[in-house]
Every structure is written in C-alpha cells, then in structure tokens.
Amino acid sequence: MITPNLSWVLLLPMLGLGFVCLVPSDKTSLIRRISNVAVLVPFILSVWIFAAYDHAAGGFQFIQNIPWVVPLGISYHLGVDGINSLLLLLMGAASFAAVLVSASIKERVKEYYILLLVTIIGTYGAFLSLDIFFFYFFHEVAAVPVFLMIAIWGSERREFAAMKLTLFLTAGAAIALIGLLALYLATGVQTFDLIVIQQQLANHPLPMTLQNWIFPLIVVGFGITLTLWPFYTWAPVGYAEAPTAISMLHSGVLKKMGAYAIIRFAIQLMPQAAHTWMPIIAGLAIVNIIYCGLVALTQRDLKYILGYSSCSHMGYILLGLACFNTIGLNGVVFLMFAHGIMTALAFALTGFVVDQTKTRHLDELGGLLKCMPFIGTCFMMAALASAGIPGFANFVSEVLVLLGAWDQYRWLTVLAVFGLVITAIYLLKAIRLGFQGPLNPKFAGLADAQTLSAKFPYVMLLALLILVGCLPSIILTHIGSSTKTIVESMR
C-alpha cells in the first residue's frame, strides 16, 4: 500500500509559492489559480493522511527523519499521530476555505497570496514537526506574514491591531523558546527530537525544581497564543481588523498551535509540574470563559463578538487540559478541531457580510436574512454550533470537556456550563440584530452567495461540523489512540 509522504504537504505549497513569485503581478487570475491548487492539494493529502493513519496501531506514523543540524541534535523529523493528523485535517479544510474566500481581495493580489502561502506553510510545518526546534521554527514562520497581511489588507485600525498581535505573539514565543531551550538542556540527551525526549523523560523525569519553572514558561508562552486570560487582548482587535482569511486561519488554526504545544511539550513531558500548575490554569480558564463571554455580550461589532467568543471558548480547551483524564483530553483535541472549523466558518461568513455591507456594526445591519438567505442561514447554524447545540461537533467536544472536568473541578465546571448560556445569549443577540428584523433599506439590493463555487467554502465547513457532530467516532478513535498514552504518562 502506498503511504502518504508528509513532506509533500510542505513542498507543494512551497512550489506554489515559487510559481506565484515568478508570475507578473498583473496576472491576478493566474496567481489565484496557482494558489488555490497549491492549497487544495495539501488539503487532499491531509484527508488521505487522516484516513490512512492506523489508529489501532497508534503512535507516530509516516515518519520522515533527516538530520539537519547534527551538533545540536536538530532533525527534520515529520510524523503524525491521532492528534496532529486531525489538526492537519483542520488546517487543510480551513486553509482551503480561506484561500477560496480570498477571491474578494482585489489589491496587491500577488503580495497577498505570497504571504498567505507562507503562513500556510508555516502552520502545516508546525503541526507536522516532531522536532521541537522545527515546531518553533515553523510556528514563527507563520507569525511574520500575518503582521503584513493585517497591516495592509485590514480595516481601519489595522496598523495598531497588526502591531499588537505580532508583539504579543512574539513575546509569548520568546518566553516559550526559553522554556523549550531549558527543557532541551535539562534532558541531557542533546536532541530536539520529540520522540527521544519523550522516552527519556518517561524513564527519567526532570527534577521538580527544574520542572517547576520550565513548565510555566512554556505554558504561559504558548498560552499567550491560546489567548490565556489576561494575555488575550491582542486577539479580539487582531481578528476584527484582519482580512477575512487571516481571521479564519488565525482564530481557527494558528492559535490552536498554542494548545498543541502545551499538550506535547508541557503536559506530556513534565506531568509532575502539570499537577502543580494546571489547577491554577483551570482557574484562569474559567475567567476566560466567563469574562470574555461577558465582554462579548457588550460588543456591538460583529467581528469583535466573534473575537471575544473565540477567547472565551479557549477557556474550555484550557480547562480540558487541566483535567488529566482521557475524556477531558479527548474533548480538548475534539474542541480544537470543532472550534477551528466553526470559527473559520463564522469569520468567513462575517467577511462576506462586511464585504457586501461595508459595515460590521450590528446597529447598522439588520434583516440580512431577507437579502442573503444562504449566508444568514449558515451564520445561524455556525452560531448554534458555537452555543453547543447537539448535532454539531462543538456539542460533543464541550460535553467531553465538561465531563472530564467534573471530577476534578466541580464548581469550576458549573461556571463553565454557565459560559455556554452566555455564548447563546450574545450569538442570538447578534443574529437578532444583524440578520432578523426589518431590512435596512440601504442593503436591499445586496446579493447572496449565488454560484456554487461561492457557496462551496461555507458548505464544506458546515458539512464537516455536522458530519463530525453526528458521527463523532470518526475522529474520536483517532484522538483516543494518542491521548491514552499521554494520560498514562501523567499518572
């Protein structure tokens, strides 16, 4: 049987990037076509990888390992397990949707697609890497283009938003890097290879004195990416001002790199410190859920509501990470996927609305369902998914997280459930003000998404949400095969 070659997931967008660089900048339709293909093929590959992953066997599969910087023990080491094969699928779907909705970009098209492709390569690379150095490397590759994309193609406060987002994320990355380097030096095996480090630390855990300061560096550093309270403030403004594709990718996928890193490098490698520190993180997670939810309630700007909602939902991921049991961790990975798809869909739809109406202020919108029934319906579905209505993927994941948390943090779990009510309130408010009621006469002539190709990205994401929501086992078996080993290592 042919097994997928993981490097192609990186090489094909790179190839596309090279072609886009060579095409003259006035041939915009050619640039779009190349970029679409360069993102579609990795998506197909990621589906294949996900399907081909043998969850019965578990562990890391399709491994590729090329020594890169031998003296420091850095290797180009790719491989997938149940967790990152799923995140790869998330990235594939979200990036393909993002590149499709980018058709609305009309200015400086070539630069736009070059930067978008670099971001996509970086994100894929981070999820594929089994080498801590290369994870960090790719994670940062994805960071810089985002600055330019927000600053050039964003809305009014774009320069402020771009700078704030980039500086926060870089600060987080720098803190995390120091933690990772300290971890590397402390293991004594002179390698950044995650698998080797896992084995080494499973047999010889680090002394608690070391774990106790390395762990918080990594968790806070990557926690900033994951909008851990109180370091979340970059996110709402960043997402609000960013162009649609970046809002989708960043809130959908890029910030999940933070959760992924915390699972892989903090919790799994330093389980003893996790028991000390994660209860504190769980407390902060509840603040995330409640506080950001309440702030979302007060917003009148559609993209800010989604931004705060995204921060609020990261609380569930953080809470699940603090559970130390399989159910909770399964919920976390499931939620990373479900929230990623849902939020990408919501931002894509909002982007469509803003493109048409030139406003995202709820007081100026209204009755959009009458002129855009398709977009409006999709938005309502996305909102229902986000509020945790059964039938959508988010419901399954949130239930898993809450079940996992129940034994450990009873009162916090009660508060977390309350967060879902808040979500329902602000999203229903957004629908009532934006999509229902009398149609603002200004918008009477606006068109819905009409052609099949225009509807495709939304339909695809929505279909994924419903499919996974109705048949959770298709991804739960994958997740379960890998979380089991992590949870065992924590005991």
Contact flag: residue 389 with other proteins (CB under 8 A): no
Q: Which of residues 66-95 bind other proteins (CB under 8 A)?
A: 68-72, 74
Contact flag: residue 171 with other proteins (CB under 8 A): yes
Contact flag: residue 170 with other proteins (CB under 8 A): yes
Residues in the chain, overall count? 491
Stretch in the footprint of other proteins (CB under 8 A) among 168-176, 197-205, 288-296, 480-488: 168-176
Contact flag: residue 182 with other proteins (CB under 8 A): yes
Number of residues that bind other proteins (CB under 8 A): 35
In whole angstroms, the minimum distance from the beta carbon of 106 to other proteins comes to 16
Contact flag: residue 11 with other proteins (CB under 8 A): no
Among 6, 31, 94, 162, the residue binding other proteins under the rule CB under 8 A is: 162
Quote the CA–CA distance of 152 and 489 in Å, as a whole number.
46
In whole angstroms, the minimum distance from the beta carbon of 174 to other proteins comes to 4
The contact mask relative to other proteins for 23-62 (x = CB under 8 A, - = no) is ----------------------------------------
Q: Which of residues 113-152 bind other proteins (CB under 8 A)?
A: 133, 136-138, 140-141, 143-144, 147-148, 151-152
Stretch in the footprint of other proteins (CB under 8 A) among 166-174, 326-334, 355-363, 452-460: 166-174
Contact flag: residue 197 with other proteins (CB under 8 A): no
For residue 214, the Cα-to-chain-centroid distance in whole angstroms is 24
Binding site for other proteins (CB under 8 A): 68-72, 74, 111, 133, 136-138, 140-141, 143-144, 147-148, 151-152, 158-159, 162-163, 166-167, 170-171, 174-175, 177-178, 181-182, 184-185
